Structure 1
């Protein structure tokens, strides 16, 4: 019996590596990889692919678009979605588009095996994971995927609170000097007056501050989504900030075996320009590992930006925590 041909499509090399490691060690399978949705479609059109493991959040062509294209072109290749976007609406949409199953990131080898068995894709007698993948991963890319999972957890919680679908971006990870950070923040603000909420965190020597930036022109829309007629702006934003930041940090901490302690959220600036926020906090943010996540709500003109600003000293500790994932 010829080996089954598997295509893994994910824009993160770490996520692809984790999937390879999660596959049954004794499964006779030929594995190929694609880093973009369009690349995966081109490979599928060549024929010979028996199973696609597909991510959702990708640049250019995301997983939803790949599934729609497969349906439009009447492909019969079975698809299992493996994604950090664990919103109930995301799961419903991929199943409606014809996916066999949805698995959350980072994938659990036992759950992956059970899913493959239940759809008759592997023999139930096959063992558990044990494959190796010797492709080294750079720190920034590995950490971006870890953040991606945390971002998805936060979005799922926000979606339940607001009753909306949260559109997820690709996390942006960079080491920035204060001037570069100011430019990144000004780009996020898009010229608007903003209100920023800050919350410090620390765990196992890894420390930083989460900064959540709200556009003042959209705060009333946020209040309406929360079905609040008369509610203090700051109280609402502090509640939302605490919810989002806690969920995102928890998702990160779980993957790197850290427990973060968090301070109380504080308002850094209200209806202020980004340049004012930077000036006030210039000493704290001299040089930082900056993670930028821009959330938007489908069907609403509401956007807000979450920045995780890790201290310079935290980078070496984070790198050690990620050693297994990167090696």
Structure 2
């Protein structure tokens, strides 16, 4: 008899990769959900006795799904498959009842070993033909769009960056769902202005290039939060030079780890410039005016990090040049096929 399996993830690319990684002989009937609330409804309807659950999702995230399952007395066997690899995230999902944690993208052998360890897959099934036919797997005839794929790649990369930041600062980093858009400079201006909510800010950038893909990473800090960042670093900057040094250190951690996560997934080695200060205590208007020629039309990945328990939020934008889009699309298509 087929096991009811729910794959709950907001990314079609992630669901496709995960279903492809399932042991081919595992007799499962697969349902899919694109956010936690939809997945929870399917579990309530009895469609899933096993759940492969993402953490970073809109509407209801994976942490909230696990908490709801516990409060409602629902007992599917949950394996978390996530790009959020912070030690605290793994501890929290285990405490909430998840049976295992697998980092994205899931490797078929690791997934198989996890299923066998949990008694969900009989190792003998691979050696002996199943007496019942294995239900057919979903056919992914629909094309996964470029933005969804890049968003998922960025999601995995930002999770690795957050894990490093969490370890360095001793904090828990709350991760958003990344946004992917193609902006003219005027639209980028509006996006940045909205992100900064009218506050003065400090901004840093770091260029990168590799295999026909180039761009800049832009990191924005609200000035009102710099003192909180300094406390986390156990730093007491006495002047703007020392403040800039602290922010450059933080930019190196976040941007370097995020670009490394992307390059690993799409098999591109990026050469990275040194982080540079664009402006301290500046308005978005002045930053855009100074830099509008270099940004022009750009593919932007927006990630807004928050630190739990601290008044610290900062916005990371990966700005790819317009000329990079075709090459980036080619690399992503190769990854999917």
With normalisation by structure 1, the TM-score equals 0.97
Q: Indicate yes or no: 2:234 matched with 1:234.
A: no
Q: Indicate yes or no: 2:304 matched with 1:294.
A: yes
Q: 204, 208, 224: which is aligned to 1:201?
A: 208
1:125 positional shift = 3.4
Separation (CA, whole Å) in 2 of partners of 1:261 and 1:8: 36
CA contact (8 A) 1:140 1:173 kept: yes
* Residues 238-262 of structure 1: per-residue CA shift (max 9 Å, x gap): 0110110000000011110001110
1:49 positional shift = 1.6
1:131 positional shift = 9.0
Any gaps of 5 or more consecutive residues in structure 1? none
Q: Counterpart of 2:97 in 1: which secondary structure?
A: coil
Q: Which residue is equivalent to 1:172?
A: 179
Q: Which residue is equivalent to 2:77?
A: 78
* Residues 68-104 of structure 1: per-residue CA shift (max 9 Å, x gap): 0000111121000001111010000000000000111
With normalisation by structure 2, the TM-score equals 0.94
Cα RMSD of the aligned pairs, angstroms, is 1.5
Separation (CA, whole Å) in 2 of partners of 1:152 and 1:162: 15
Q: Which residue is equivalent to 1:137?
A: 144
CA contact (8 A) 1:208 1:310 kept: yes
Any gaps of 5 or more consecutive residues in structure 2? 128-136
Number of residue pairs aligned between Structure 1 and Structure 2: 325
Tell me: CA distance 1:275–1:30, structure 2 relative to 1, closer, same or farther (3 Å): same
Separation (CA, whole Å) in 1 of partners of 2:48 and 2:302: 36
Q: Indicate yes or no: 2:310 matched with 1:310.
A: no
* Residues 140-184 of structure 1: per-residue CA shift (max 9 Å, x gap): 110100000011011111111111100000101001000000001
Q: Counterpart of 1:98 in 2: which secondary structure?
A: coil
* Residues 187-243 of structure 1: per-residue CA shift (max 9 Å, x gap): 111111001001000010100000000111111110101112346111110011011
1:132 positional shift = 6.6
CA contact (8 A) 2:202 2:221 kept: yes
Tell me: CA distance 1:109–1:126, structure 2 relative to 1, closer, same or farther (3 Å): farther
Structure 1 residues 59-78: aligned runs within 5 Å: 59-78=58-77
Task: Detail structure 1 runs of 4+ shifted over 3 Å in the superposition.
Answer: 125-128, 130-135, 324-327
CA contact (8 A) 2:237 2:243 kept: no
Q: 329, 333, 336: which is aligned to 1:319?
A: 329
